[in-house]
């Protein structure tokens, strides 16, 4: 009997020893609603050993773990959790780990200092929209999703689905825009602002092709150069980290709207590839208000296609090369039978990244270029809105090419970086002028711009209590070969104006500090100088919208801004609050200045109008409880003209297209089989012109999305926009135009 007991003991000891050497534990990563987290990963840390990665099988992670080992489970968008392997896990050979969504403070961002950091460690103001937030937004376009960020605004407050792309320039914190953005918009590190005009073609990028959007509010020219006068929007493209991945979305709804997008990706040995496709078409709605509408008014809509890919190869343990081609086509109606515009663009980015395995030294680069053709028709509409005649046919071809590179290094507590960027843009405007419906003249104008910028930066972690970030950039650019030639078709006489070549430069420093008073409470401050060089469009191309003609100005100089901000943040458990006060003064502001007003025509010109100032504060808050997440934001911006030498009567007027108050909120509830999301935004009154003659009243809009999961890979959704059918004003030319009515879409998503 004793012998049998001894034998059994030996067998049990051997079994335990075998598990201790070769045991496996299956880890099931789930969210708070009990759903499997598809992108989860895990690693095992034993006593005094290196990390051992876990493999993936079906819905679980297979970890080579022993009793007492620690398993670290993480996933994009969730807080990392460490679990110790206990006896129960050994007996069952499995663990279920519930991950909670990462708090806003824990989100990793790269845009603020061109290097990875937690949002809570950044001394500048950043708003982030991740993959989950984009999927739970009712809007099918990226610009409408970004309206969740307080302070984000386009030149006109209508969606890119229903408005001319030249009205889609972006501004932040109430500095205003004039069609051209005062904010740089980057995709994969390269600006997608129109190279000729500075506005943004938002339909170039489908939300499905985006992993995360980071909005840096405040002057960012010290790192990103011209166009970053009020901030930078950095769009991180979606990429595949698995052997194969596919995702898609299709929806149909009111206003004859159809939307489709798809994403495919693969990783095979050292090769990787991603392909993204998007298609959007909508008949749109009639933008003219019902009381002013005439027989000629029709819907304003769009049909667009975008296609982009990324193909590359990993080299060694920490190196890669890639190429990313892209294509975009868009055809728009603009509210009357003869008003149309089209865009066709092709682009390519080739780049790479190499760094040491310890991450202490590395470099990355981008070479990029593209071509674009933009066609636009302009018309004169009769006062009774019962007829229209062509006034101008315009084609604006442009080409751009450039190169950027940077090196980065970790040296003790310092994160150092330096880089440069060179770029050349060529653009022109070829027009046929009409009078009484007959062609009367041909006009050609255009020029070139060459720019060069170089910058250095240092992010210093002063112990665990403070972060000090400093950067400075020098830019120099030149405009050359500027000309305008007009030929009368009646007489054959050509009149030519040759504009002199010219050069400008700018020095853009920034200093930011964050100090942690406690682990939960911190304060921050920042000071910067930034600039925006005039675009070729502003220098050489005029345009007409309705009964407003805006002339170009070849004598424009760069805008210069000085910005200051100070704020504080608090984080405890599921609560995060951040508040920032700001002051931005822009000198030589480029504005559309009214020259003459008649009953049938308003004439404006782009001018360096003087000085403007935007001062106020912004609040961001996040609250999580169980399956409910609430985000809210508020912006107060007092934005005024402070100096205007050519017309002192405009001093103290409000900057056009800037509301004093903006409020946004998002509420998301996640159950096991369904999600519900609500997004609301409100804005106070604003004006459409420099003379503050055309006033827009306040508005509130509520959107909602309900998503039902059929299984882990397939879901159905119902999206409703402008639920209360708020018909607020979006333009006055001087004809009043209004926002889109209530609309719904029904669709499906799969992955």
pLDDT for position 25: 87
Distance in angstroms (rounded) separating the CA atoms of residues 699 and 27: 49
Would you tell me how many other CB atoms lie within 10 Å of the CB of residue 404?
A: 20
Distance in angstroms (rounded) separating the CA atoms of residues 506 and 529: 9
3-state DSSP helix/strand/coil % of the chain, to nearest 5 = 10, 60, 30
Angstrom CA distances, 36 to 341, 473, 622, 740, stand at 46, 46, 24, 38
pLDDT digits (tens, 9 = 90+) for 482-528: 988 999 999 999 999 899 999 999 999 999 999 999 989 999 999 99
Distance in angstroms (rounded) separating the CA atoms of residues 681 and 722: 10
Distance in angstroms (rounded) separating the CA atoms of residues 453 and 222: 10
Which among 484, 489, 539, 530 is positioned nearest to 510, based on CA atoms? 530
Which among 271, 205, 278, 213 is positioned nearest to 244, based on CA atoms? 271
Q: CA 173 from chain center: how many Å?
A: 15
CATH class of 2-98: mainly beta
Counting DSSP H helices and E strands in the chain, the numbers are 6, 48
Contacts of 420 (CB under 8 A, 6+ apart): 404, 405, 406, 452, 453, 454, 455
pLDDT digits (tens, 9 = 90+) for 91-103: 888 888 888 776 6
pLDDT digits (tens, 9 = 90+) for 575-628: 999 999 999 999 998 887 888 888 777 888 888 888 999 999 999 999 988 889
- CATH fold group of domain 105-750: Maltoporin; Chain A (2.40.170)
Residue count (the chain)? 751
**HSE, side-chain direction, 13 A CA sphere, residue 541:** 30
Classify residue 327 by burial, with Cβ atoms within 10 Å: 0-12, 13-18, 19+. Answer: middle
Which among 142, 30, 158 is positioned nearest to 95, based on CA atoms? 30
pLDDT for position 104: 63
Output the DSSP codes for 354-365.
EE-TTSSEEEEE
pLDDT for position 1: 44
Q: What is the DSSP letter of 574?
A: T
pLDDT for position 50: 67
Beta-bridge partner residues of 366:
351, 404
Which among 329, 332, 259 is positioned nearest to 302, based on CA atoms? 332
Name the residue ranges covered by the structural domains of the chain: 2-98, 105-750
C-beta of residue 210 within 8 angstroms of C-beta of residue 237? yes
pLDDT for position 518: 92
Distance in angstroms (rounded) separating the CA atoms of residues 450 and 422: 8
Ranges of residues in the chain with a pLDDT under 50 are 1-3, 6, 8, 10-21
Angstrom CA distances, 343 to 80, 139, 201, 266, 552, stand at 44, 22, 9, 31, 21
pLDDT for position 79: 76
Model pTM score: 0.87
Distance in angstroms (rounded) separating the CA atoms of residues 566 and 514: 10
Which among 340, 276, 328 is positioned nearest to 304, based on CA atoms? 328
C-beta of residue 528 within 8 angstroms of C-beta of residue 222? yes
DSSP reduced 3-state for 713 = coil
C-beta of residue 402 within 8 angstroms of C-beta of residue 423? yes
pLDDT for position 47: 62
Q: CA 187 from chain center: how many Å?
A: 8
Both tokens of residue 572? Answer: 């405890």
Both tokens of residue 402? Answer: 């450039």
pLDDT for position 563: 97
Angstrom CA distances, 433 to 382, 487, 488, stand at 18, 10, 9
Distance in angstroms (rounded) separating the CA atoms of residues 725 and 739: 9
Residue whose tokens read 């009043």 = 736
pLDDT for position 652: 94
Give percent of the chain above pLDDT 90.
56
pLDDT for position 55: 84
Per DSSP, which regions of 113-243 are E strands?
117-118, 125-130, 153-154, 170-171, 184-187, 190-191, 210-217, 231-237
On the question of a cis peptide bond just before residue 4, with omega within 30 degrees of 0, the verdict is no
């Amino acid at each position: 009997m004793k012998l049998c007991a001894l034998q059994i003991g030996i067998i049990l000891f051997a079994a335990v020893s075998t598990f201790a050497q070769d045991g496996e534990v299956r880890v099931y990563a789930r969210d708070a609603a009990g759903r499997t987290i598809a992108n989860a990963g895990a690693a095992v840390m034993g006593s005094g050993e290196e990390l051992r990665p876990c493999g993936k099988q079906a819905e679980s992670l297979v970890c080579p773990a022993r009793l007492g080992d620690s398993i670290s489970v993480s996933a994009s968008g969730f807080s990392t959790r460490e679990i110790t392997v206990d006896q129960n896990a050994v007996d069952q050979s499995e663990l279920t780990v519930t991950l909670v969504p990462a708090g806003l403070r824990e989100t990793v961002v790269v845009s603020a200092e061109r290097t990875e950091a937690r949002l809570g460690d950044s001394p500048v103001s950043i708003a982030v929209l991740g993959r989950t937030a984009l999927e739970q937004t009712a809007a099918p376009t990226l610009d409408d999703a970004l309206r969740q960020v307080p302070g984000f605004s386009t030149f006109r407050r209508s969606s890119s689905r229903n408005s001319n792309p030249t009205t889609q320039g972006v501004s932040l914190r109430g500095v205003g825009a004039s069609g051209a953005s005062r904010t740089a918009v980057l995709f994969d590190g390269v600006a997608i602002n129109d190279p000729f005009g500075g506005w943004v073609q938002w339909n170039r990028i489908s939300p499905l092709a985006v992993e995360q959007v980071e909005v840096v509010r405040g002057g960012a020219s010290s790192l990103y150069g011209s166009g970053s006068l009020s901030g930078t929007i950095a769009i991180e493209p979606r990429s595949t980290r698995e052997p194969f991945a596919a995702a898609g979305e299709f929806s149909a709804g009111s206003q004859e709207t159809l939307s489709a997008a798809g994403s495919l990706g693969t990783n095979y040995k050292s090769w990787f590839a991603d392909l993204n496709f998007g298609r959007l078409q909508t008949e749109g709605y009639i933008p003219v208000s019902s009381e002013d509408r005439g027989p000629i008014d029709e819907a304003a809509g769009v049909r667009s296609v975008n296609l982009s890919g990324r193909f590359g190869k990993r080299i060694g343990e920490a190196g890669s090369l890639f190429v990313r081609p892209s294509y975009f086509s868009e055809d728009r109606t603009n509210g009357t039978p003869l008003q149309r515009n089209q865009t066709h663009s092709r682009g390519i980015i080739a780049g790479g990244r190499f760094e040491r395995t310890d991450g202490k030294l590395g470099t990355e680069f981008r070479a990029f270029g593209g071509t674009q053709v933009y066609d636009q028709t302009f018309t004169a509409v009769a006062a009774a809105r019962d007829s229209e005649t062509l006034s101008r046919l315009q084609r604006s071809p442009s080409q751009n090419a450039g190169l950027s590179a940077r090196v980065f290094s970790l040296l003790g507590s310092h994160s150092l970086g330096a880089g440069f960027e060179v770029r050349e843009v060529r653009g022109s405007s070829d027009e046929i002028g009409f009078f009484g419906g007959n062609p009367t003249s041909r006009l050609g104008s255009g020029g070139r711009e060459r720019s060069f910028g170089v910058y250095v930066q240092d992010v210093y972690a002063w112990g665990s209590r403070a972060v000090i970030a400093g950067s400075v950039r020098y830019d120099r650019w030149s405009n050359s070969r500027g000309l305008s030639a007009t030929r009368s078709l009646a007489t054959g006489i050509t009149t030519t104006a040759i504009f002199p070549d010219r050069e400008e430069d700018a020095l853009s420093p920034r200093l930011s500090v964050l100090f942690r008073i406690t682990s939960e409470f911190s304060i921050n401050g920042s000071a910067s100088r930034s600039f925006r060089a005039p675009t070729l469009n502003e220098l050489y191309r005029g345009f007409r919208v309705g009964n407003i003609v805006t002339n170009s100005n070849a004598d424009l100089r760069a805008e210069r801004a000085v910005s200051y901000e100070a704020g504080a943040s608090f984080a405890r458990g599921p609560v995060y609050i951040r508040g920032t006060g700001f002051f931005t003064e822009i000198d030589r502001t480029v504005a559309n200045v009214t020259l003459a007003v008649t009953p049938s025509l308003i004439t404006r010109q782009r001018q360096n109008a003087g000085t403007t100032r935007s001062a106020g504060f912004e609040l961001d808050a996040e609250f999580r409880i169980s399956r409910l997440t609430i985000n809210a934001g508020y912006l107060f911006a007092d934005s005024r003209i402070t100096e205007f030498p050519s017309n002192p009567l405009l001093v103290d007027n409000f900057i056009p297209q800037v509301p004093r108050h903006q409020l946004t909120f998002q509420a998301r509830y996640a159950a096991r089989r369904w999600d519900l999301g609500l997004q609301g935004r409100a804005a106070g009154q604003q004006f459409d012109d420099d003379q503050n003659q055309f006033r827009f009243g306040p508005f509130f809009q509520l959107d909602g999305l309900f998503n039902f999961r059929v299984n882990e890979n397939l879901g159905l959704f119902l999206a409703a926009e402008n639920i209360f059918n708020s018909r607020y004003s979006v333009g006055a030319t001087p004809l009043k135009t209004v926002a889109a009515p209530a609309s719904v879409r029904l669709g499906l998503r799969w992955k």
